[in-house]
Amino acid sequence: MNFRNQLTLTFAGLTTVVLIIMGSFIYLVAEQFTRRQYFQRLMDRGIVAAHMYLEQDEFSAQRIQKTRRKFFQSLSDEKFAIYDHNRKLHVATDTAGIAIPERIFQKIKNEREVEFWLEDLQGIGLWYEDNEGDFYVIVTAKDVTGASKLVNLREVLIISVLLGCLVMVLAGHFFARKVLQPIVAIVQEVNKIRASNLHLRVKERPTRDEIADLVNTFNQMLERLDTSFYMQKSFIANASHELRNPLTAISGELEVTLMQDRTPAEYKASLQTLQKETERLEKLTADLILLAQTGFDEQEVKKDRVRIDEVLLEVKAELKYSLPQNQIQIDLSSLPQDPDVLTVYGNRSLLQIAFKNVLENASKFSDHQRVSVAVKWQAQQVEVTVQDQGIGIPEGEMERVMEPFYRANNARFNNGTGIGLTMAEKIFRLHGGRIKLTSTLQVGTTVVMVLPSI
Residues 344 and 220 in one domain: no
Q: Which of 272, 293, 314 marks a domain boundary?
A: 293
Residues 287 and 403 in one domain: no
Residues 58 and 115 in one domain: yes
Residues 355 and 406 in one domain: yes
Residues 64 and 139 in one domain: yes
| CATH code where residue 390 lies | 3.30.565.10
Q: What percent of the chain has pLDDT over 90?
A: 16
How far is Cα 199 from Cα 220, in angstroms, rounded to an integer?
12
| CATH code where residue 86 lies | 3.30.450.20
Is the residue at 23 inside a domain?
yes
SS3 367: coil
CA angle 167, 173, 178 (to 5 degrees): 125
Longest dimension (CA), the chain: 161
Residues 220 and 276 in one domain: yes
How far is Cα 46 from Cα 67, in angstroms, rounded to an integer?
12
Is the residue at 277 inside a domain?
yes
Rounded (10°) CA dihedral 125, 131, 134, 139:
-20
Residues 281 and 319 in one domain: no
Whole-Å CA distances, 115 to 51, 73, 178: 19, 21, 56
Is the residue at 176 inside a domain?
no
Q: Which of 293, 314, 339 marks a domain boundary?
A: 293
How far is Cα 446 from Cα 35, in angstroms, rounded to an integer?
94
HSE, CB side, 13 Å, CA atoms: give it for residue 192: 10
How far is Cα 50 from Cα 128, in angstroms, rounded to an integer?
8
pLDDT tens per residue across span 292-350: 665 555 555 678 899 999 999 999 988 887 788 889 999 888 788 887 889 999 888 88
Give first-to-last CA distance, the chain, whole Å: 50
Residues 340 and 404 in one domain: yes
Question: Which residues contact residue 349 at a Cβ distance below 8 angstroms, ignoring those fewer than 6 apart?
Answer: none
Is the residue at 217 inside a domain?
yes
CA 416 to chain centre: 47
Q: What are phi and psi of 329, to 5 degrees?
A: -125, 125
Neighbour tally for 108: CB within 10 Å: 22
How far is Cα 134 from Cα 317, in angstroms, rounded to an integer?
121
Sheet with 121-130, edge to edge strand ranges? 89-92, 79-84, 133-141, 121-130, 113-118
Residues 272 and 385 in one domain: no
Residues 274 and 234 in one domain: yes
Which residue segment(s) compose the domain that 353 sits in? 300-452
Is the residue at 275 inside a domain?
yes
Is the residue at 187 inside a domain?
no
Q: Compute the mean pLDDT over every residue in the chain, rounded to the nearest whole number.
A: 81
> Which of these, 230, 155, 167, lies nearest to 198 by C-alpha position?
230
What are the start-end ranges of the H helices in 192-335? 210-257, 264-293, 308-322
Is the residue at 398 inside a domain?
yes
Q: Which of 233, 266, 293 marks a domain boundary?
A: 293
Question: Which residues contact residue 50 at a Cβ distance below 8 angstroms, ignoring those fewer than 6 apart?
Answer: 82, 126, 128, 135, 137
Residues 214 and 96 in one domain: no
Is the residue at 266 inside a domain?
yes
How far is Cα 228 from Cα 224, in angstroms, rounded to an integer?
6
DSSP, res 405: T
Domain count, the chain: 3
DSSP, res 439: E
| CATH code where residue 285 lies | 1.10.287.130
Neighbour tally for 149: CB within 10 Å: 14
Residues 448 and 307 in one domain: yes
Instruction: Encode the chain (454 residues) as per-residue pLDDT tens digits.
Output: 677 778 788 888 888 888 899 999 999 999 999 888 888 888 888 887 777 777 655 545 455 455 555 555 567 777 888 888 888 888 777 655 678 888 888 888 888 888 888 888 888 898 888 777 888 888 888 888 888 889 999 999 999 988 988 888 888 888 878 877 777 888 888 888 877 777 777 887 777 777 788 888 888 888 877 777 766 666 666 566 567 767 887 888 888 888 888 888 888 888 888 888 788 778 767 766 665 665 555 555 678 899 999 999 999 988 887 788 889 999 888 788 887 889 999 888 888 888 988 998 899 888 889 999 999 988 889 999 999 998 888 887 887 887 766 777 766 666 666 677 887 888 888 888 999 999 988 889 999 999 998 8
pLDDT tens per residue across span 381-399: 999 999 999 888 888 788 7
